[in-house]
């Protein structure tokens, strides 16, 4: 077995992750195949067990691998046309799509100033009817409709620059750079739903299609919300996973 030295820096788990993902996507690790044991991979890649386990856990969260207790770790069927998402991780939609080897895109983007309704006001910690910025957009994966996103922010001029928003690959990156904030964490609520006429038309799916609605409040500290999003995902394009620990 050829040995590959991936180093000892703090970025080693990322490089292990990329290496194993490439092995899967290139077909060197086939769907349903058991990957080399932890001991073999540690020796092959010249990495620590902790770094390897971190990378394996991330690949498991994203749906590339599944661990079977007492048997080993196996490659999942990654040819299914779905994106796997772990709700316990804070990723931008662009990075989530890209992590599955797909190309993210944005169409039908609009930005406007509106008045906060009761829900938006509560989520952002502002007064009802206070002006807020609403950004609406359709996200695509390899050119196909992926989700419909409505995001609300406290009023800020940079969020009204529609052309700059269109050019930005990631709304999360744009927000952090232009508002001068660092998103620390988010609180998400996952709800089952069916699509109405508006969502069905936007995502090119039949009315009444099964959906996930993810409502998420982004915070820059324990108590300061800066962004409320409501995203509609057709059930057919995403598998949502939740890591439960104790």
Specify whether 48 is located in the same domain as 97.
Answer: no
pTM of the predicted protein model: 0.66
Instruction: State both tokens at 152.
Output: 């609300």
Specify whether 147 is located in the same domain as 186.
Answer: yes
pLDDT in tens, 10-61: 588 889 999 998 898 888 898 888 999 999 999 999 999 999 999 998 888 7
Would 195 be classed as within a structural domain? yes
Would 47 be classed as within a structural domain? yes
pLDDT in tens, 73-117: 988 865 445 565 655 566 678 888 887 788 999 999 999 999 999
Would 3 be classed as within a structural domain? no
Q: How many domains does the chain have?
A: 2
Specify whether 183 is located in the same domain as 232.
Answer: yes
Please measure the distance between the N-terminal and C-terminal CA atoms of the chain and give it in whole angstroms: 37
Query: Does an H or E element contain 21, and which?
Result: helix 12-25
Would 148 be classed as within a structural domain? yes
Specify whether 168 is located in the same domain as 228.
Answer: yes
- The whole domain housing 140 covers 83-241
Would 1 be classed as within a structural domain? no
DSSP conformation letters of 49-98: HHHHHHHHHHHHHTTSEEEETTTEEEE--TTSS-EEEETTS---HHHHHH
The CATH number for 27's domain is 1.10.10.10
């Amino acid at each position: 077995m050829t040995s590959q030295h991936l180093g000892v820096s703090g970025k080693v788990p990322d490089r292990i992750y990329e290496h194993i993902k490439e092995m899967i996507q290139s077909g060197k690790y086939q769907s349903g195949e058991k990957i080399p044991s932890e001991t073999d991979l540690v020796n092959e890649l010249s990495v620590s067990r902790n770094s390897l386990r971190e990378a394996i856990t991330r690949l498991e969260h994203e749906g590339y691998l599944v661990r079977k207790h007492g048997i080993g770790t196996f490659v999942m069927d990654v040819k299914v046309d779905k994106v796997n998402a772990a709700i316990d991780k804070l990723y931008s939609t662009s990075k989530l799509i890209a992590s599955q080897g797909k190309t993210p895109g944005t169409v039908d983007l609009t930005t406007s100033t509106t008045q906060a309704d009761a829900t938006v006001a509560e989520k952002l910690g502002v007064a009802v009817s206070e002006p807020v910025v609403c950004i609406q957009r359709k996200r695509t994966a390899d050119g196909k409709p992926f989700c419909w996103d409505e995001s609300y922010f406290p009023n800020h001029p940079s969020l009204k620059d529609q052309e700059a928003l269109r050019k930005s690959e990631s709304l999360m990156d744009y927000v952090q750079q232009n508002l001068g904030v660092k998103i620390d964490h988010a609180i998400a609520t996952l709800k089952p739903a069916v699509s109405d006429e508006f969502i069905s038309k936007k995502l090119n799916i039949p009315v009444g299609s099964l959906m996930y609605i993810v409502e998420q409040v982004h915070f820059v500290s324990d108590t300061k919300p800066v962004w409320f999003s409501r995203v509609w995902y057709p059930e057919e394009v995403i598998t949502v996973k939740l890591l439960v620990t104790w």
